[in-house]
Homo-oligomer: A and B are copies of this chain.
Amino acid sequence: MSSQEFFYRYSCAMNIPLRNQPRVVIVGGGFGGLELAKALRDAPVQVVLIDKNNYHTFQPLLYQVATAGLEADSIAYPIRKIFKRQRNFHFRWGEVKEIDPAQNVLRASIGELTYDYLVIATGATTNYFGMEAIARHAMPMKTVTEALNLRSLILQNFEQALLTENVREQEALMTFAVVGGGPTGVELAGALCELKKHVLPNDYPELDFRKMRVLLIESGGEILQSMSEVNQVRAKKYLEELGCEVWLHSKVADYDGDAVQFQNGKMLYTKNLIWAAGIRGLYIAGLRPEAVDKRGRYLVNAYCQITGYERLYAIGDVACMITDKYPNGHPQVAPVAIQMAHTVAENIVRELKGLPPKMFVYRDRGSMATVGRNRAVVEAFQIRFGGFAGWFVWMALHLMLLVGFRNKVIVFINWLWNYMNYDRNIRLIIRPYFRNTR
């Protein structure tokens, strides 16, 4: 196809300059979106990335922001800065509301924009599975703002625990229930245990820290379901040694902000229910309903094209590609998003050259989760290990993956500091969090 074909459809919307090149619009600056924009650096296309934040969030470390170990600003990175030398790149800060595939246009809070190729890389949000009371009262942890809210709530509840003379209320304020035994839940529960062991007792010498409980709540029969049994058992042991209560086969039925009701009839008083039990795709309105599965993901073919569309792609957490090996779609993790981004970038370039597209094949390089100080479980290249070696690998890999040298240095210094001093420094309630005002 000649590039002339594309020209006439352009509008001046969003003040994106007119170019005599096809326009690739990417929605979302997560792992997938960024990688795709970078991969198109030398392609004969104009790249426009739209995100509702002006920064990329390094989600794997959000739990450390929530537990006062890292400043938010060290795991967020300004998107414009990443691309400041990429000539064919444009960023716009806005929220995409709707896609009109018939007209090749998307509608956002900041105006409309036509596209030649549209790649949806919006990722996922917390899934409450329709339980409204939980959505209202539990704390999610998928964005920087949510992690900061959680940090504020944890500290506020300790301040409150100091003041109350009601023992049950005090215990509820000091009880932290993390729902969801995936890596996020495991890492967060571990970090909360460390706060209990090393940090908070110094801040609140007037409180009896035997009253502080950390629970990891999982509806299934094991934690870290995607891992091998040896690591599942290991992670559970690590957590229990840290003082975490691991409740398996415990499905949450309801929560009113004070008490958790379980389906098995149990009850737990807590003012802190952290919901890491599931995610759903952040799909955008406008496409055929059949293109979206029940977990909010776009059904895509082996080229990441959304079912029934040609120049509409979805990658990462918001895509569901069903294969023999992954009958429920690929795992919703960063490496899938990054690898899908490469596939899409290559296929766009191939199409412009008149070549047939290549199929996506996921190369699983393993997974890992850290459990507090000195401990982690790692599975990579058929090897499974844990303990200090796992923890060291976990740290090194996360430092490597962080965007930006300054952020790497700041995170490294914080980790070194926290490790040597058994400390978490960022115990700041900068914007207090109150449930009613959400």
- Which A residues are closer than 8 A to B by beta carbons? 12, 14-15, 17, 53-55, 71-74, 76, 78, 80-81, 84, 90, 92-93, 110-111, 144-145, 148, 155-156, 159, 162-165, 202-206, 404, 406-407, 409-410, 413-414, 417, 425-431
The distance in angstroms between the C-alpha atoms of A73 and B413, with both chains bound, is 14
- A84 to B53 CA separation, bound complex (whole angstroms): 38
Q: State whether A425 touches B406 (Cβ < 8 A).
A: yes
Could you pull out 19 A-B pairs where Cβ atoms are within 8 angstroms? A15-B163, A54-B428, A54-B429, A73-B73, A73-B428, A76-B428, A80-B427, A81-B202, A81-B203, A81-B425, A81-B427, A92-B163, A93-B429, A110-B163, A404-B425, A406-B414, A406-B417, A409-B417, A410-B410
Taking a contact as CB atoms under 8 Å apart, the answer to whether A429 and B55 are in contact is yes
**Residues in chain B near residue A203, CB distance under 8 A:** 78, 80-81, 84
Q: Whole-angstrom distance between the alpha carbons of A311 and B147 in the complex? A: 43
Question: Quick one: copies of this chain in the complex?
Answer: 2
Are A15 and B431 CB-contacts (below 8 A) given A413-B413, A425-B81?
no
Docked Cα-Cα span, A76 to B151, in Å, equals 15
User: Nearest chain-B residue to A407 (Cβ)?
Assistant: B425
Q: In the complex, what distance in Å separates the CA atom of A356 from the CA atom of B410? A: 51
> Chain B residues with Cβ under 8 A from A71's Cβ?
71-74, 410
Tell me if A76 and B430 are in contact (CB < 8 A): yes
A163 proximity list for chain B (CB < 8 A): 14-15, 92, 110-111
Q: A54-B155, A81-B203, A410-B410 are in contact. Are A15 and B162 (CB under 8 A)?
A: yes
Query: Closest residue of chain B to A417, judged by CB?
Result: B406
Residues on B with C-beta less than 8 A from A14 are 163
Neighbouring B residues of A409 by C-beta, 8 Å? 413, 417
Q: Is the CB of B206 within 8 A of A84?
A: no
A365–B93 Cα gap in the complex (Å)? 47
Q: Which residue of B lies closest to A165 (CB)?
A: B15
**Smallest CB–CB gap between A177 and chain B, Å?**
24
Interchain CB contact (< 8 A) of A54 among B92, B93, B111, B427: B427
**In whole angstroms, what is the CA distance A348 to B2 when docked?**
86
Is there an interface contact between B430 and A145, defined as CB atoms closer than 8 Å? Answer: yes
Closest to A205 in B: B84
Inter-subunit contact B165/A93 (CB<8 Å): no
* Most central of A12, A204, A404, A430 by chain B CB within 10 Å: A430
